[in-house]
Structure 1
Amino acid sequence: MCIRDSHIGGTNGKGSTGAFLFYILKGAGYKVGLYTSPHLIDFRERIRINNRLISKKELIKQVSFLKSLITDHRFQPTFFEITTAIALKYFAEQRVDFAILEVGMGGRLDATNVTMPLVSVITNVDFEHTEHLGRSLRKIAYEKCGIIKRGIPVVTAENKEETLRVIEGTCRKRKARLYRIGEEIRIDPRSSILDPCLIQHPASSIQHLRNQKFNYQGIYDRYENLKISLLGKHQLLNAACAIGAIELLQPKVKISKEEIRRGLVKTTWPGRLEIKRYTIHDKRLTVILDGAHNVAGAEALKKAIRDSFSYKKLILVLGILKEKDIKGIVAQLAPLASRIIITRPQTPRAVEPEEIVEIAKEYSGSIVIKEKVSQAIRQAISYAESKDIILITGSLYTVSEAIKAI
């Protein structure tokens, strides 16, 4: 089984970076497999080739095949290991030109870390899954660096000195050339903030909040006035990582500047600063869905909200999983809100709302609990007026249930 792949690790931005790569490559005419996690609505979202999710029939076939191989009941592969095996086998059988593989957790011991990629990307390093990856940034960076292979180039947007030292040291040891956003790859300083025409638009004018513009000075070339439709300054870094990876794939791939330009602007990634407009009970409501599930993601979301939107009130619908830094996430998001609705997605991993309330009390006197995400959304709608924003976040599980409920 031989797959030409790009391997993407990091704390945040893995999915968005993979999406940028995916849209650029398939827009250039290549047959591209994309493996990501978790899914929002349909499990099959995790495994796709170009515009099609893996079919139900194909998925059943792959599961049955793997099941036939597991004859020793002492060997029990995890859910993610099985899913990864399905994706890799499916991509190989379908003879994709390229596969884009997103790390599930960490990197060194991750199920995806079984290929020899053409390029590796470590988007950034921050605190996450500390019970598995370690309780210091240095230890977490060590686990992320497990995807760095001997002689295979690496792109990173990480810039913290402590973690960057680990990445640089690993690259030197494995003779892997490192390309850093901000050093070998640069975004024009004017593009490090949102285009001025995007800043402080009323929520009622969000149709204008569709493109961020930036210039990119890359490894081999310069790109002027690139656009992405994903919002948030952090997406500029994710886009830069993707373009850097595309440059390093050459000459194995032939992609023109125009194909890169088109791929970037066409990239969508649901549940990441996704803006929805609804008219409910004669109210035109603005809903923002974002799967921020750690402190760094919550901070990026907070900055994007402050930079890109003006609004009368923000109503926060928040549901978080147990293993997350609840205090840190609440500290970032609660000060934005006029009202907070605490809920729990329907998974055993969800933290009890009462635990979040105890933390959120420090920031707000207007907090209610709704046991189900659908109930929380109904409550938020009852609070909201036309110039308000409803922000639904804390976990992709929360976002998934919100999408189904709205």
Structure 2
Amino acid sequence: MSASLSSNTVTTDIPNSQSSLTEWLDYMQQIHVSAIDMGLSRVLPVAEYLGVVQSAKDDAYVFTVAGTNGKGSTTAVISAMCQAAGYKTALYQSPHLSCFNERVRINGEMVSDQTLIQAFSKVEAARLQCELTLSFFEMTTLAALLIFAEADCDVWVLEVGLGGRLDVVNIIDPDMAVITNISIDHVDWLGDNVEQIGAEKAGILRDDITLIYGAADMPYSVQQLIKTHHATCYQVDQDFSYRVQDAQTWQYSNAAVTLQLPRPALSLMNTANALSAVLASPLKVDIAAIEQALKTVKLAGRFDYRDLENRHWLFDVAHNEQGVNFLLAQLLPLWQQHLESQQHNKTGSIKMLFSMLGDKDIGMVVQRLTQADLPMTDWFIAEIDYPRAANVEQLQSALAVHVAPTNIHVFTSLQQATHAVIASSQPQDLIVVCGSFHTIGEALAALEV
């Protein structure tokens, strides 16, 4: 696709500094013809014009995290540890669940609407000056990087949006790279096998960098890129390991240390990857900061258990095979605990509030969920309010292979489905919301959380 302004841009009125955040977000979603447009050729000149590339290189220590699953948890833990150690810490994540500002945080706090609007104005001015067109994700990511540069943050923790090599986050040279894991996802953009996908994700590597690799299996393509870049790699089960000790503690070990630590609210696998990255960095993060971070770090939508509307809820963004496997591994013991906690009526069922994007493997996700040894009695489905959403016919078709028609309940919106699952459930039931970031976000909005 051409990088010229005239070929890709859609003519629309440009907001100004007095416009609302919503007006800016709507504008940026309209000015490029493609929601996803991989490549760095258009975004690099704008980034250099803004000075964000040089600022990161000169003034900050940068962690870049890629991978199929677990990026959000990993970046959250790295950020929490660095912040607890006293570093002014920038955190960039995507997508958001309820509020765009969730994507851009400094010292754990979302930046304000006005801060975002000012950054969007500067990015738009730079884009026009360079006579280039940018996608929504490119515009918003550049704005986040500009905010971090202007705030003079000590540490930047950046979550890759899609892949790695051609993702806009990759315009910043990382000091530390993390690849959480590699599995099949986003096949239209990254390839349909782990070798192709691995090469894309390992595109975040630089010469002589340190890589934390959080899976036991490593594609050959990643191994080759590690050699090409003369990178130092620390891999789980080879160079570091972790194990549960009890309900409150876990153990982390590498060649230099063995630590007994409080269990966080997030995945231990992702926490171990994050801790390995922090320990391998030159940053001064002591055991007290690590413990403080683990006791407090949270991330909405990642095995996120809540009591709302006199009901028990579990929100998880699982949307591919690896994510669903991870969800089920934690859900089975949680369900047993849930039953045991019922003082009198030790019964109940799991109600599923479910929707996915149309470019995901819906059939596989449904199959894995329905084959689990769990009482998933009823499914409440609706189309997500998002351009790539699966329609209800796709969702129904996937479910009909495994679920009786009388147990599939179709609604015109996630808001309606959310209210329906409350009305159709009992206090002893568990409502599981999963399938997409957008499913979680719309459910939380319906619950006014």
Task: Compute the TM-score of the two structures, normalised by the length of structure 1.
Answer: 0.89
State the distance in 1 between where 2:126 and 2:172 align.
21
State the distance in 2 between where 1:57 and 1:397 align.
25
C-alpha displacement of 1:363? 1.6
Name the amino acid aligned to 1:2: S
State the distance in 2 between where 1:382 and 1:270 align.
24
Query: Counterpart of 2:317?
Result: 291
State the distance in 1 between where 2:316 and 2:434 align.
5
SS at match of 2:388: coil
Q: Which is further off, 326-335 or 238-247?
A: 326-335
Q: Does 1:399 align with 2:404?
A: no
- Which of 269, 280, 283 aligns to 1:237? It is 269
State the distance in 2 between where 1:380 and 1:78 align.
37
SS at match of 2:168: coil
C-alpha displacement of 1:74? 6.4
State the distance in 2 between where 1:228 and 1:40 align.
21
User: How many equivalent pairs are there?
Assistant: 375
- Which of 188, 200, 220 aligns to 2:256? It is 220
Query: Counterpart of 2:299?
Result: 269
Contact 1:219 1:247 in 2 (8 A): no
Query: Counterpart of 2:25?
Result: none
State the distance in 1 between where 2:363 and 2:98 align.
28
Query: Counterpart of 1:300?
Result: 326
State the distance in 2 between where 1:246 and 1:156 align.
13
Query: Counterpart of 1:342?
Result: 381
State the distance in 2 between where 1:46 and 1:332 align.
30
Superposed CA deviations along residues 330-354 of structure 1, whole A, max 9, x for unmatched, are: 1122344111111122112110112
State the distance in 2 between where 1:334 and 1:274 align.
20
C-alpha displacement of 1:168? 2.2
Unpaired runs of 5+ in structure 1?
Answer: 198-210
State the distance in 2 between where 1:347 and 1:85 align.
23
Name the amino acid aligned to 1:21: I
Shift in alpha-carbon separation, 1:63–1:225, aligned structure 2, 3 A: closer
Q: Does 1:81 align with 2:81?
A: no
Task: Compute the TM-score of the two structures, normalised by the length of structure 2.
Answer: 0.81
State the distance in 2 between where 1:74 and 1:332 align.
48
- Which of 180, 202, 208 aligns to 2:235? It is 180
- Which of 152, 164, 182 aligns to 1:125? It is 182
Superposed CA deviations along residues 241-265 of structure 1, whole A, max 9, x for unmatched, are: 1111111112xx2111121111112
- Which of 248, 257, 281 aligns to 2:280? It is 248
State the distance in 1 between where 2:303 and 2:288 align.
26
Superposed CA deviations along residues 352-397 of structure 1, whole A, max 9, x for unmatched, are: 1121111111221111111211111122112211221000111111
Map of 1:6-405 to 2, 5 A cutoff? Answer: 6-71=63-128, 75-161=132-218, 163=219, 165-188=220-243, 190-191=244-245, 195=246, 211=248, 213-230=249-266, 235-250=267-282, 253-279=283-309, 284-310=310-336, 311=339, 312-335=348-371, 336=374, 337-365=376-404, 366-405=407-446
State the distance in 2 between where 1:265 and 1:5 align.
24
Shift in alpha-carbon separation, 1:332–1:286, aligned structure 2, 3 A: same
State the distance in 2 between where 1:295 and 1:130 align.
13
C-alpha displacement of 1:268? 0.3
Q: Which is further off, 383-392 or 129-138?
A: 383-392
State the distance in 2 between where 1:326 and 1:74 align.
40
Name the amino acid aligned to 2:102: E
Shift in alpha-carbon separation, 1:72–1:22, aligned structure 2, 3 A: closer
Contact 1:227 1:261 in 2 (8 A): no
C-alpha displacement of 1:321? 0.5
Superposed CA deviations along residues 73-112 of structure 1, whole A, max 9, x for unmatched, are: 9621111111121111111111101000000000000101
Contact 2:240 2:255 in 1 (8 A): yes
C-alpha displacement of 1:219? 4.6
Query: Counterpart of 1:2?
Result: 55
Name the amino acid aligned to 1:241: N
Unpaired runs of 5+ in structure 2?
Answer: 1-53, 340-347
State the distance in 1 between where 2:170 and 2:402 align.
42
State the distance in 2 between where 1:216 and 1:154 align.
18
SS at match of 2:133: coil
SS at match of 2:170: coil
Superposed CA deviations along residues 42-69 of structure 1, whole A, max 9, x for unmatched, are: 1111111013222222211111112112
SS at match of 1:124: coil
Runs of 4+ in 1 over 6 A off after TM superposition: none
Taking only the aligned residue pairs, the percentage that are identical comes to 29
State the distance in 2 between where 1:329 and 1:160 align.
22
SS at match of 1:242: helix
State the distance in 2 between where 1:179 and 1:219 align.
10
C-alpha displacement of 1:71? 2.7
Contact 1:22 1:32 in 2 (8 A): yes
RMSD between aligned residues: 1.6
Larger Cα-atom Rg: 2
SS at match of 1:113: helix
Name the amino acid aligned to 1:327: G
Name the amino acid aligned to 2:279: E
State the distance in 2 between where 1:342 and 1:109 align.
34
